[in-house]
Amino acid sequence: MARLAELPPLSLYVHIPWCLRKCPYCDFNSHEKRGELPEAQYVDALTADLEAALANVWGRRIHTIFIGGGTPSLFSPASIDRLLTAIRTRLPVDPEAEVTLEANPGTFEIERFRGFRDAGINRLSIGVQSFDDARLAAIGRVHGAKEARAAVQAAMAIFPTMNVDLMYALPGQSLDQALADVREAIAFGAPHVSAYHLTLEPDTNFYRNPPALPADDLAADMQEGVESLLASAGYEHYETSAFAKPKNRARHNVNYWTYGDYVGLGAGAHGKISLRDRITREIRERKPQTYLRAALDGDAICERREVADGERPFEFMLNALRLIDGFPLDLFTRRTGLPISTVEPQLAAAEAAGLIARDHATIRPTERGRRFLNDLLEPFLEPAPARPAARVINISSPGTARPS
Ligand code: SF4
Protein backbone atom coordinates (compact mmCIF):
# COMPACT_ATOMS: atom_id res chain seq x y z
CA MET A 1 0.00 0.00 0.00
CA ALA A 2 1.20 3.50 -0.85
CA ARG A 3 1.92 5.57 2.26
CA LEU A 4 0.52 9.01 2.96
CA ALA A 5 2.97 11.75 3.99
CA GLU A 6 0.17 13.56 5.83
CA LEU A 7 -3.38 12.84 6.94
CA PRO A 8 -6.21 14.77 5.23
CA PRO A 9 -8.56 17.12 7.10
CA LEU A 10 -11.23 15.26 9.07
CA SER A 11 -14.98 15.93 8.95
CA LEU A 12 -17.88 14.30 10.74
CA TYR A 13 -21.14 13.31 9.07
CA VAL A 14 -24.18 12.30 11.17
CA HIS A 15 -27.16 10.68 9.49
CA ILE A 16 -30.66 11.00 10.91
CA PRO A 17 -32.80 8.69 8.81
CA TRP A 18 -36.42 9.82 9.31
CA CYS A 19 -38.71 12.07 7.27
CA LEU A 20 -42.37 13.03 7.55
CA ARG A 21 -43.04 11.30 4.25
CA LYS A 22 -40.90 9.61 1.62
CA CYS A 23 -40.52 11.79 -1.49
CA PRO A 24 -41.10 9.82 -4.71
CA TYR A 25 -37.70 10.76 -6.22
CA CYS A 26 -35.61 10.07 -3.12
CA ASP A 27 -33.13 7.20 -2.94
CA PHE A 28 -31.55 8.28 0.33
CA ASN A 29 -31.64 6.12 3.41
CA SER A 30 -34.72 7.90 4.72
CA HIS A 31 -37.75 6.32 6.36
CA GLU A 32 -41.22 7.62 6.93
CA LYS A 33 -41.77 8.64 10.53
CA ARG A 34 -44.34 6.44 12.27
CA GLY A 35 -45.24 7.55 15.76
CA GLU A 36 -42.71 9.13 18.08
CA LEU A 37 -39.10 9.18 16.96
CA PRO A 38 -36.68 7.35 19.28
CA GLU A 39 -34.65 10.54 19.62
CA ALA A 40 -33.00 9.90 22.97
CA GLN A 41 -32.12 6.33 22.08
CA TYR A 42 -30.77 7.39 18.69
CA VAL A 43 -28.50 10.03 20.23
CA ASP A 44 -27.27 7.34 22.67
CA ALA A 45 -26.57 5.08 19.69
CA LEU A 46 -24.72 7.85 17.81
CA THR A 47 -22.62 8.49 20.91
CA ALA A 48 -21.77 4.80 21.28
CA ASP A 49 -20.99 4.68 17.55
CA LEU A 50 -18.64 7.66 17.92
CA GLU A 51 -16.89 6.05 20.89
CA ALA A 52 -16.30 2.90 18.85
CA ALA A 53 -14.83 5.05 16.05
CA LEU A 54 -12.45 7.05 18.24
CA ALA A 55 -9.50 4.66 18.11
CA ASN A 56 -9.01 5.30 14.38
CA VAL A 57 -9.11 9.09 14.59
CA TRP A 58 -7.50 9.63 17.95
CA GLY A 59 -6.09 13.13 18.43
CA ARG A 60 -7.38 14.41 15.08
CA ARG A 61 -9.33 17.64 14.94
CA ILE A 62 -12.80 17.89 13.40
CA HIS A 63 -13.04 20.74 10.88
CA THR A 64 -16.68 20.42 9.87
CA ILE A 65 -19.79 18.63 11.10
CA PHE A 66 -22.79 17.92 8.87
CA ILE A 67 -26.03 16.55 10.32
CA GLY A 68 -27.96 15.24 7.34
CA GLY A 69 -30.73 12.83 6.52
CA GLY A 70 -33.52 12.25 6.27
CA THR A 71 -34.85 15.35 7.99
CA PRO A 72 -32.69 16.13 11.02
CA SER A 73 -34.86 19.15 11.86
CA LEU A 74 -37.45 16.63 13.09
CA PHE A 75 -35.16 16.17 16.10
CA SER A 76 -35.58 18.63 18.95
CA PRO A 77 -32.95 21.29 19.64
CA ALA A 78 -32.32 19.51 22.97
CA SER A 79 -31.38 16.29 21.12
CA ILE A 80 -29.13 18.17 18.68
CA ASP A 81 -27.52 19.94 21.65
CA ARG A 82 -26.91 16.61 23.38
CA LEU A 83 -25.43 15.17 20.19
CA LEU A 84 -23.06 18.12 19.64
CA THR A 85 -22.01 18.06 23.30
CA ALA A 86 -21.30 14.33 23.02
CA ILE A 87 -19.11 15.02 19.98
CA ARG A 88 -17.25 17.93 21.56
CA THR A 89 -16.47 16.02 24.73
CA ARG A 90 -14.98 13.13 22.77
CA LEU A 91 -13.12 14.79 19.90
CA PRO A 92 -11.34 18.12 19.49
CA VAL A 93 -13.63 20.27 17.32
CA ASP A 94 -12.08 23.32 15.66
CA PRO A 95 -13.52 26.47 17.29
CA GLU A 96 -14.19 27.78 13.76
CA ALA A 97 -15.81 24.53 12.60
CA GLU A 98 -18.67 24.76 10.13
CA VAL A 99 -21.62 22.93 11.74
CA THR A 100 -24.47 22.33 9.29
CA LEU A 101 -27.93 20.92 9.89
CA GLU A 102 -30.34 19.95 7.12
CA ALA A 103 -33.87 21.19 7.60
CA ASN A 104 -37.10 21.04 5.68
CA PRO A 105 -39.60 23.90 5.53
CA GLY A 106 -42.57 23.45 7.86
CA THR A 107 -43.96 25.44 10.76
CA PHE A 108 -42.95 22.75 13.21
CA GLU A 109 -39.32 22.85 12.07
CA ILE A 110 -39.09 26.65 11.78
CA GLU A 111 -40.07 27.02 15.44
CA ARG A 112 -36.96 25.05 16.26
CA PHE A 113 -34.42 27.11 14.29
CA ARG A 114 -33.39 29.37 17.18
CA GLY A 115 -32.87 26.32 19.40
CA PHE A 116 -30.63 24.72 16.77
CA ARG A 117 -28.56 27.90 16.61
CA ASP A 118 -28.22 27.91 20.42
CA ALA A 119 -27.12 24.28 20.27
CA GLY A 120 -24.19 25.28 18.03
CA ILE A 121 -25.49 24.92 14.47
CA ASN A 122 -23.97 27.76 12.43
CA ARG A 123 -25.16 26.80 8.94
CA LEU A 124 -28.64 25.64 7.95
CA SER A 125 -29.29 23.83 4.69
CA ILE A 126 -32.94 24.03 3.67
CA GLY A 127 -34.58 21.59 1.28
CA VAL A 128 -36.72 24.18 -0.53
CA GLN A 129 -36.62 22.53 -4.01
CA SER A 130 -39.07 25.10 -5.46
CA PHE A 131 -41.05 28.18 -4.47
CA ASP A 132 -43.96 27.04 -6.65
CA ASP A 133 -46.84 25.13 -5.01
CA ALA A 134 -47.72 23.17 -8.15
CA ARG A 135 -44.12 22.01 -8.68
CA LEU A 136 -43.77 21.05 -5.01
CA ALA A 137 -46.94 18.99 -5.26
CA ALA A 138 -45.68 17.36 -8.46
CA ILE A 139 -42.58 16.06 -6.66
CA GLY A 140 -44.54 14.97 -3.60
CA ARG A 141 -43.11 17.42 -1.09
CA VAL A 142 -45.03 17.87 2.14
CA HIS A 143 -44.39 21.62 2.33
CA GLY A 144 -45.78 24.47 0.23
CA ALA A 145 -44.24 27.67 -1.17
CA LYS A 146 -45.41 29.73 1.80
CA GLU A 147 -43.56 27.50 4.24
CA ALA A 148 -40.49 27.49 2.01
CA ARG A 149 -40.37 31.31 2.04
CA ALA A 150 -40.91 31.45 5.79
CA ALA A 151 -38.11 28.93 6.37
CA VAL A 152 -35.63 30.83 4.21
CA GLN A 153 -36.51 34.13 5.88
CA ALA A 154 -36.13 32.65 9.36
CA ALA A 155 -32.85 30.94 8.51
CA MET A 156 -31.44 34.15 7.02
CA ALA A 157 -32.25 35.98 10.25
CA ILE A 158 -30.98 33.32 12.66
CA PHE A 159 -27.93 31.60 11.14
CA PRO A 160 -24.58 33.13 10.13
CA THR A 161 -24.81 31.31 6.80
CA MET A 162 -27.23 29.01 5.04
CA ASN A 163 -27.96 27.04 1.88
CA VAL A 164 -31.07 26.77 -0.26
CA ASP A 165 -31.50 23.46 -2.09
CA LEU A 166 -33.37 23.82 -5.39
CA MET A 167 -34.24 21.34 -8.08
CA TYR A 168 -34.98 21.98 -11.74
CA ALA A 169 -36.27 19.92 -14.65
CA LEU A 170 -39.29 19.06 -12.49
CA PRO A 171 -42.44 17.45 -13.92
CA GLY A 172 -44.33 20.02 -16.01
CA GLN A 173 -41.81 22.79 -15.30
CA SER A 174 -41.18 25.54 -17.83
CA LEU A 175 -37.91 27.41 -18.28
CA ASP A 176 -39.44 30.54 -16.75
CA GLN A 177 -40.63 28.63 -13.70
CA ALA A 178 -37.20 27.07 -13.13
CA LEU A 179 -35.54 30.48 -13.37
CA ALA A 180 -38.15 32.10 -11.13
CA ASP A 181 -37.12 29.72 -8.32
CA VAL A 182 -33.50 30.77 -8.68
CA ARG A 183 -34.43 34.47 -8.83
CA GLU A 184 -36.31 34.07 -5.59
CA ALA A 185 -33.38 32.42 -3.81
CA ILE A 186 -31.16 35.25 -5.05
CA ALA A 187 -33.68 37.87 -3.89
CA PHE A 188 -33.62 36.37 -0.40
CA GLY A 189 -29.85 36.84 -0.44
CA ALA A 190 -29.13 33.15 0.20
CA PRO A 191 -25.34 32.89 0.66
CA HIS A 192 -25.28 29.42 -0.93
CA VAL A 193 -27.53 27.76 -3.50
CA SER A 194 -27.43 24.12 -4.56
CA ALA A 195 -29.29 23.54 -7.81
CA TYR A 196 -29.85 19.92 -8.79
CA HIS A 197 -31.22 18.44 -11.96
CA LEU A 198 -34.01 16.02 -10.95
CA THR A 199 -32.97 12.51 -11.93
CA LEU A 200 -34.88 9.25 -11.74
CA GLU A 201 -32.94 6.96 -9.43
CA PRO A 202 -33.52 3.20 -9.23
CA ASP A 203 -35.57 2.06 -6.23
CA THR A 204 -37.74 5.17 -6.16
CA ASN A 205 -41.42 5.66 -6.94
CA PHE A 206 -40.55 8.02 -9.79
CA TYR A 207 -38.33 5.34 -11.33
CA ARG A 208 -41.16 2.80 -11.20
CA ASN A 209 -43.81 5.29 -12.39
CA PRO A 210 -41.93 8.01 -14.24
CA PRO A 211 -43.63 11.39 -14.44
CA ALA A 212 -43.48 13.46 -17.66
CA LEU A 213 -40.24 15.40 -17.38
CA PRO A 214 -38.96 18.30 -19.47
CA ALA A 215 -37.16 17.19 -22.64
CA ASP A 216 -33.34 17.05 -22.54
CA ASP A 217 -32.97 20.26 -24.57
CA LEU A 218 -35.24 22.17 -22.24
CA ALA A 219 -33.45 20.75 -19.18
CA ALA A 220 -30.12 21.83 -20.69
CA ASP A 221 -31.52 25.36 -21.22
CA MET A 222 -32.62 25.37 -17.60
CA GLN A 223 -29.17 24.37 -16.43
CA GLU A 224 -27.56 27.08 -18.53
CA GLY A 225 -30.10 29.67 -17.35
CA VAL A 226 -29.64 28.71 -13.67
CA GLU A 227 -25.86 28.96 -13.97
CA SER A 228 -25.92 32.29 -15.75
CA LEU A 229 -28.47 33.86 -13.37
CA LEU A 230 -26.42 32.87 -10.35
CA ALA A 231 -23.17 34.01 -11.95
CA SER A 232 -24.61 37.41 -12.77
CA ALA A 233 -25.81 37.73 -9.15
CA GLY A 234 -22.23 37.25 -7.89
CA TYR A 235 -22.31 33.56 -6.98
CA GLU A 236 -19.21 31.47 -7.64
CA HIS A 237 -20.06 28.22 -9.40
CA TYR A 238 -17.52 26.00 -7.68
CA GLU A 239 -18.90 22.48 -8.07
CA THR A 240 -21.30 20.80 -10.50
CA SER A 241 -24.41 21.83 -8.52
CA ALA A 242 -23.02 24.26 -5.93
CA PHE A 243 -22.99 28.07 -6.05
CA ALA A 244 -21.73 30.33 -3.29
CA LYS A 245 -21.25 33.96 -2.57
CA PRO A 246 -17.58 34.66 -1.78
CA LYS A 247 -16.43 32.97 1.45
CA ASN A 248 -19.60 30.89 1.69
CA ARG A 249 -18.55 27.65 0.04
CA ALA A 250 -19.71 24.54 1.89
CA ARG A 251 -16.48 23.56 3.61
CA HIS A 252 -17.86 20.16 4.57
CA ASN A 253 -18.62 19.25 0.98
CA VAL A 254 -15.35 20.72 -0.26
CA ASN A 255 -13.63 18.26 2.07
CA TYR A 256 -15.39 15.37 0.28
CA TRP A 257 -14.50 16.77 -3.11
CA THR A 258 -10.85 17.15 -2.16
CA TYR A 259 -10.78 13.51 -1.01
CA GLY A 260 -10.65 14.40 2.67
CA ASP A 261 -11.53 12.08 5.53
CA TYR A 262 -14.84 11.78 7.34
CA VAL A 263 -16.27 9.75 10.14
CA GLY A 264 -19.83 8.75 9.22
CA LEU A 265 -22.17 8.10 12.15
CA GLY A 266 -25.78 6.96 11.96
CA ALA A 267 -27.90 4.51 10.00
CA GLY A 268 -26.34 3.72 6.63
CA ALA A 269 -23.64 6.40 7.04
CA HIS A 270 -20.43 6.02 5.06
CA GLY A 271 -17.00 6.94 6.37
CA LYS A 272 -13.54 7.28 4.89
CA ILE A 273 -10.58 7.24 7.24
CA SER A 274 -6.92 7.46 6.25
CA LEU A 275 -4.05 6.15 8.29
CA ARG A 276 -0.47 6.60 7.07
CA ASP A 277 -0.39 3.12 5.58
CA ARG A 278 -4.00 2.64 4.47
CA ILE A 279 -7.28 4.24 3.48
CA THR A 280 -10.38 2.56 4.88
CA ARG A 281 -14.03 2.88 3.94
CA GLU A 282 -16.81 1.88 6.30
CA ILE A 283 -20.59 1.58 6.06
CA ARG A 284 -22.95 1.49 9.05
CA GLU A 285 -26.04 -0.72 9.35
CA ARG A 286 -28.70 0.79 7.13
CA LYS A 287 -32.01 -0.02 8.85
CA PRO A 288 -32.65 2.35 11.76
CA GLN A 289 -33.68 -0.40 14.21
CA THR A 290 -30.75 -2.64 13.28
CA TYR A 291 -28.40 0.33 13.56
CA LEU A 292 -29.77 1.28 16.98
CA ARG A 293 -29.15 -2.21 18.36
CA ALA A 294 -25.75 -2.64 16.72
CA ALA A 295 -24.44 0.79 17.74
CA LEU A 296 -25.55 0.32 21.34
CA ASP A 297 -23.81 -3.08 21.28
CA GLY A 298 -20.60 -1.32 20.23
CA ASP A 299 -20.25 -2.14 16.52
CA ALA A 300 -22.56 -0.56 13.94
CA ILE A 301 -20.23 -1.16 10.99
CA CYS A 302 -21.55 -3.73 8.54
CA GLU A 303 -18.91 -3.28 5.86
CA ARG A 304 -15.29 -2.22 6.10
CA ARG A 305 -12.70 -2.39 3.35
CA GLU A 306 -9.37 -0.96 2.41
CA VAL A 307 -9.06 1.19 -0.68
CA ALA A 308 -6.36 -0.48 -2.80
CA ASP A 309 -3.70 1.66 -4.49
CA GLY A 310 -5.27 0.92 -7.87
CA GLU A 311 -8.65 2.29 -6.75
CA ARG A 312 -7.39 5.57 -5.36
CA PRO A 313 -6.92 7.51 -8.63
CA PHE A 314 -10.53 6.88 -9.66
CA GLU A 315 -11.92 7.72 -6.23
CA PHE A 316 -9.84 10.90 -6.12
CA MET A 317 -10.82 12.03 -9.63
CA LEU A 318 -14.49 11.13 -9.10
CA ASN A 319 -14.56 13.78 -6.39
CA ALA A 320 -11.93 16.36 -7.36
CA LEU A 321 -13.05 16.69 -10.99
CA ARG A 322 -16.46 17.87 -9.79
CA LEU A 323 -14.74 21.08 -8.71
CA ILE A 324 -14.97 23.74 -11.40
CA ASP A 325 -11.49 25.06 -10.58
CA GLY A 326 -10.10 21.53 -10.36
CA PHE A 327 -7.32 20.74 -7.91
CA PRO A 328 -3.68 21.56 -7.24
CA LEU A 329 -1.38 18.94 -8.73
CA ASP A 330 0.26 18.02 -5.44
CA LEU A 331 -3.12 17.28 -3.82
CA PHE A 332 -3.32 14.02 -5.76
CA THR A 333 -0.17 12.70 -4.07
CA ARG A 334 -1.02 14.13 -0.67
CA ARG A 335 -4.39 12.36 -0.64
CA THR A 336 -3.62 9.09 -2.45
CA GLY A 337 0.07 8.54 -1.59
CA LEU A 338 0.70 7.91 -5.31
CA PRO A 339 2.87 9.99 -7.67
CA ILE A 340 0.90 11.91 -10.30
CA SER A 341 2.89 9.98 -12.93
CA THR A 342 0.67 6.99 -12.04
CA VAL A 343 -2.14 8.62 -14.01
CA GLU A 344 -0.11 10.49 -16.64
CA PRO A 345 -1.41 8.37 -19.57
CA GLN A 346 -5.04 9.03 -18.55
CA LEU A 347 -4.37 12.74 -18.02
CA ALA A 348 -2.63 13.07 -21.39
CA ALA A 349 -5.54 11.34 -23.14
CA ALA A 350 -8.10 13.50 -21.32
CA GLU A 351 -6.17 16.64 -22.24
CA ALA A 352 -5.94 15.58 -25.88
CA ALA A 353 -9.70 14.96 -25.90
CA GLY A 354 -10.33 18.45 -24.50
CA LEU A 355 -11.76 17.07 -21.24
CA ILE A 356 -9.24 18.66 -18.88
CA ALA A 357 -6.92 21.65 -18.94
CA ARG A 358 -3.72 21.70 -16.91
CA ASP A 359 -0.61 23.71 -16.23
CA HIS A 360 2.34 23.13 -13.91
CA ALA A 361 0.17 23.77 -10.83
CA THR A 362 -3.45 22.68 -11.40
CA ILE A 363 -5.70 20.29 -13.27
CA ARG A 364 -9.28 21.28 -13.96
CA PRO A 365 -12.14 19.86 -16.01
CA THR A 366 -13.03 21.85 -19.13
CA GLU A 367 -16.65 22.62 -19.86
CA ARG A 368 -16.66 19.61 -22.18
CA GLY A 369 -15.12 17.49 -19.41
CA ARG A 370 -17.87 18.52 -17.03
CA ARG A 371 -20.54 17.70 -19.58
CA PHE A 372 -19.01 14.30 -20.33
CA LEU A 373 -17.83 13.52 -16.80
CA ASN A 374 -18.28 9.77 -17.22
CA ASP A 375 -16.00 9.74 -20.28
CA LEU A 376 -13.47 11.73 -18.32
CA LEU A 377 -13.56 9.43 -15.27
CA GLU A 378 -13.77 6.03 -16.87
CA PRO A 379 -10.08 5.69 -17.85
CA PHE A 380 -9.09 6.13 -14.21
CA LEU A 381 -10.86 2.86 -13.45
CA GLU A 382 -8.43 0.90 -15.58
CA PRO A 383 -5.83 -0.02 -12.98
CA ALA A 384 -8.45 -2.14 -11.18
CA PRO A 385 -10.68 -3.63 -13.89
CA ALA A 386 -12.10 -6.34 -11.66
CA ARG A 387 -13.64 -3.88 -9.24
CA PRO A 388 -17.33 -2.96 -9.58
CA ALA A 389 -17.36 0.76 -10.38
CA ALA A 390 -20.90 1.38 -9.14
CA ARG A 391 -19.94 0.42 -5.62
CA VAL A 392 -17.14 2.94 -5.54
CA ILE A 393 -19.38 5.64 -6.96
CA ASN A 394 -22.00 4.92 -4.34
CA ILE A 395 -19.68 5.25 -1.43
CA SER A 396 -17.80 8.36 -2.44
CA SER A 397 -20.15 11.05 -1.19
CA PRO A 398 -22.32 10.41 1.83
CA GLY A 399 -25.46 12.15 0.82
CA THR A 400 -24.50 15.73 0.27
CA ALA A 401 -24.43 16.07 -3.46
CA ARG A 402 -28.09 15.47 -3.98
CA PRO A 403 -31.30 17.18 -2.98
CA SER A 404 -32.93 16.27 0.29
S1 SF4 B 1 -35.87 13.98 -0.41
FE2 SF4 B 1 -35.28 14.67 1.65
S3 SF4 B 1 -37.28 15.02 2.66
FE4 SF4 B 1 -37.72 13.77 0.87
S5 SF4 B 1 -37.65 11.64 1.63
FE6 SF4 B 1 -35.60 12.15 0.84
S7 SF4 B 1 -34.44 12.81 2.61
FE8 SF4 B 1 -36.63 12.93 3.15
300-321 mean pLDDT? 97
Per-residue model confidence as pLDDT tens digits over 67-92: 999 999 999 999 999 999 999 999 99
The reported pLDDT for the residue numbered 382 is 61
47-72 mean pLDDT? 97
Query: Which are the contacts of 325, defined by CB distance < 8 A and separation ≥ 6?
Result: 238, 362, 364
Q: Which atom of ligand 1 sits closest to the CA of residue 70?
A: 7
Q: Read off the pLDDT band of 243 (50, 70, 90).
A: very high
Task: Tell which one of 71, 104, 126, 163 to mutate to probe ligand 1, the residue whose CB is within 8 A of the most ligand atoms.
Answer: 71
127-138 mean pLDDT? 98
31-46 mean pLDDT? 97
For residues 100 and 46, the answer to whether their CB atoms sit within 8 Å is: no
The reported pLDDT for the residue numbered 383 is 53
The reported pLDDT for the residue numbered 108 is 77
Q: Read off the pLDDT band of 107 (50, 70, 90).
A: confident
For residues 105 and 147, the answer to whether their CB atoms sit within 8 Å is: yes
CA of residue 387 to ligand 1 center, whole Å: 30
Instruction: Write the residue with the smallest CA distance to atom 6 of ligand 1.
Output: 26
The reported pLDDT for the residue numbered 389 is 40
CA of residue 106 to ligand 1 center, whole Å: 13
Q: Which atom of ligand 1 sits closest to the CA of residue 404?
A: 2
The reported pLDDT for the residue numbered 402 is 54
CA of residue 70 to ligand 1 center, whole Å: 6
Instruction: Write the residue with the smallest CA distance to atom 2 of ligand 1.
Output: 404
CA angle, 400 as apex, 398 and 403 as ends, to 5°? 125
With a Cβ cut-off of 6 Å, ligand 1 is lined by 19, 22-23, 26, 28, 30, 69-71, 104, 127, 404
The reported pLDDT for the residue numbered 106 is 87
The reported pLDDT for the residue numbered 23 is 97
Q: Which atom of ligand 1 sits closest to the CA of residue 21?
A: 5
Instruction: Say if residue 400's pLDDT is above 50.
Output: no
Instruction: Say if residue 403's pLDDT is above 60.
Output: no
Instruction: Say if residue 200's pLDDT is above 90.
Output: yes
Instruction: Write the residue with the smallest CA distance to atom 5 of ligand 1.
Output: 22
Higher pLDDT, 275 or 396: 275
CA of residue 26 to ligand 1 center, whole Å: 6
CA of residue 17 to ligand 1 center, whole Å: 9
Task: Tell which one of 23, 143, 199 to mutate to probe ligand 1, the residue whose CB is within 8 A of the most ligand atoms.
Answer: 23
Instruction: Say if residue 125's pLDDT is above 50.
Output: yes
Q: Read off the pLDDT band of 1 (50, 70, 90).
A: confident
How many Å apart are CA 271 and CA 82, to the nearest integer? 22
Instruction: Say if residue 392's pLDDT is above 80.
Output: no
Percentage of the chain modeled with pLDDT above 90: 92
**pTM for the full predicted model:** 0.95
The reported pLDDT for the residue numbered 178 is 98
DSSP codes, 205-254: HHHHSPPP---HHHHHHHHHHHHHHHHHTT-EEEETTEEE-TT---HHHH
Cis-peptide into 70, omega within 30 deg: yes
The reported pLDDT for the residue numbered 397 is 42
341-352 mean pLDDT? 97
CA of residue 19 to ligand 1 center, whole Å: 6
78-107 mean pLDDT? 96
Percentage of the chain modeled with pLDDT above 70: 94
Instruction: Say if residue 290's pLDDT is above 60.
Output: yes
For residues 364 and 324, the answer to whether their CB atoms sit within 8 Å is: yes
Query: Which are the contacts of 69, defined by CB distance < 8 A and separation ≥ 6?
Result: 15, 16, 17, 18, 19, 28, 30, 102, 404
Mean pLDDT of the chain: 94
Instruction: Write the residue with the smallest CA distance to atom 7 of ligand 1.
Output: 70
